[in-house]
Amino acid sequence: MPNTAKGSDVMSFPLPDTGEAEMQPVDIEDRVAPRFTLLIRPAKLHVGEAQFVCVIRDISATGVSIRLFHDIEWKGPVVLELQTGDRHSIELVWNQGTEAGFQFHDQVEVDSVVGHCSLYPKRDLRFDIELPIKLEAGGQVVPAKIANLSRQGALIEADSMLALGQAVLVEARGLPKIEARVRWRRDGRYGMVFDTTFSLAQLAALIERLQRSGSRSLRPATTGLPASQAQGEAAS
């Protein structure tokens, strides 16, 4: 397990400096569309076939600025996915290390983004990762595979039958040992909920490292689809 006190809900890991702690007034006279400064609004950034954790900092109907947790290579089309599953094609305008600004291909409803309004419910961000793992359950160790990963859980594929509510220990190269429980199961696919959640910074570092080592699902992002249809089901 990651280094955290037993019973802690969130692992200790520093988040990047996000600047303002509250929404601040902005001068809109120099902007075609007024912008709103947001407080740590997590999102998923698709860049080509890769996926990254980011934080929305500033948004208008025509553009958005984000903060990343690490440098990335801007190769391929870029799509911003919100926690509701809504996806928006964007084009890179400027890049300063872990901060970047984009223009939307199509204007967005800012109130919907700020208020998490969507036809689809808000959910934890899930990242497509194909990673072989070992599950220790009931005194046995069985092979399995992670299909996607979030702060709170994972979608796991396994041939062995696991019981609902069963406690398991997830082990894999590149992952800390993770204690989890089976939340749901269907046709060899299991939704796992972790006993201890990752912080955004931990998840960002983990996803980036796993993708760099080749452990990722090559699924180009599409726009206009909810995450439940575009990615399949997940744990939490």
Q: What is the pLDDT along the chain (236 residues), one digit of tens a residue?
A: 444 444 444 433 344 454 443 444 444 344 556 666 555 689 999 999 999 999 999 888 999 999 999 999 999 999 999 988 899 999 999 999 899 999 999 998 887 777 766 566 667 899 999 999 999 998 899 999 999 999 999 999 999 899 999 999 999 988 889 999 999 999 999 999 999 999 999 999 999 999 988 776 655 555 554 444 444 444 44
Where in the chain are the domains? 36-114, 127-230
Fold of 127-230: Thrombin, subunit H (2.40.10)
- Per the CB < 8 A criterion, the answer to whether 201 and 16 are in contact is yes
CATH homologous superfamily for the domain 36-114:
predicted glycosyltransferase like domains (2.40.10.220)
- The token duo for 17 is 């400096």
* Domain 36-114 matches domain 127-230 at the CATH topology level: yes
Burial class (CB in 10 A: 0-12, 13-18, 19+), 169: middle
Q: What global pTM score does this model have?
A: 0.75
